[in-house]
Structure 1
């Protein structure tokens, strides 16, 4: 596989992540949870992910507040911005690379943790967005059920369409009506090609039943 095919395999390995950590009123995915979910597949496919800081910018803001005794307290907030890039390397073919530019930010009071927070923020969100990983509070089984329910119904198969056409034509011959009239009688208000697979099965069985009874009446 080339590097792009390997990245697709990583995406397939993580279809969904439940938000397992909680802070205040919100639940969220931690950086360690996201990395742990993806790393095993990366190792299996010999993929390396190398972060690189290209540029940085640190903004400070000092705010004065009075405590309960009237004393003035100063608090400085450090806002760290990082311009980054993530480089994917296929260890089995080191010449093959895939580079993605990214941006990160981190807020800290003491000042020394701004870069670390920004890197953690970037790592988590880059991986989530790179592999299009959906996240929610529901468990994986509930999520999969929700996905399945949201999918459009499978269209009629070529074999079903061929059988439906033959049966409609056959019943039309028995009753001396057109095929369009037969479709109208069984409730088909659109082109047969657009009928869902499940409905097509029911219509085929209905036509078989009608033809059987009509043949008896004719005999």
Structure 2
């Protein structure tokens, strides 16, 4: 009896099943902000193995890149293809990178690809699920993250001259949160990364103007 071949979506589901959780392996520090993150290397290595096992490939097909000062933004469309059937699906992701040299584009593309993989295959990156935590501890952590995020928004407004409402709306759009106030822990941390990029850009521009 011939074994029934899996469809593209069934193979994507198998990838999701094979990667239940990825522990964060990187420490991000910027001024008063300090939190754990997951590296692109770890995400790519884990997903790559699962993609090969299922006979799937992912590659970019379209890319739009813009640069303002030291900040580079990229919007990329990727194609995920089933090598057995040739079936494919189009995926999209975006990313930003700040660098005073020529590495901004590379950072932006790395950021976009990492979050494409995390979101496409719904990979959790929080603390180890085997570790127990109380509701009080979780609430305290969320309040701490929210307080830090609100402080970064105010700092960004002060340095960039923008409006709080517009910045919050932009963050919601970038992280796909329901709203700024309803963002979950991972979305708030992603918002923090985006704000750090904007603040770094504003600081760099101020330094250049003062010279």
TM over 0.5: yes
Q: Per-residue deviation at 1:139?
A: 2.8
Q: Which residue of 2 aligns with 1:142?
A: 131
Q: Which residue of 2 aligns with 1:8?
A: 13
- Counterparts of 1:35-184 in structure 2, within 5 Å, are 35-60=44-69, 78-94=70-86, 96-110=87-101, 112-136=102-126, 138-142=127-131
Q: SS at the partner of 1:141?
A: coil
Q: SS at the partner of 1:109?
A: coil
Q: Per-residue deviation at 1:122?
A: 0.7
Contact 1:17 1:140 (8 Å CA) reproduced: no
TM-score calculated relative to the size of structure 2 = 0.55
Structure with the higher strand share, 1 or 2? 1
Q: Per-residue deviation at 1:141?
A: 2.7
- Offset from partner CA, 1:83-110 (integer Å, 9 cap, x none): 210110111122x111012222111111
Q: SS at the partner of 1:128?
A: helix
TM-score calculated relative to the size of structure 1 = 0.53
Q: Per-residue deviation at 1:142?
A: 2.4
Contact 1:18 1:140 (8 Å CA) reproduced: no
Structure 1, gaps ≥5 residues long = 61-77, 147-219
Q: Distance in 2 between matches of 1:55 and 1:139?
A: 36
Q: SS at the partner of 1:18?
A: coil
Contact 1:53 1:82 (8 Å CA) reproduced: no
Deviating above 3 A after TM superposition, structure 1's stretches of 4 or more consecutive aligned residues are none
- Paired positions, count: 125
| Structure 1 pair 105–46 and aligned structure 2 pair: CA distance change class (3 A) | same
Match of 1:17 among 19, 22, 26: 22
Q: Distance in 1 between matches of 2:43 and 2:84?
A: 24
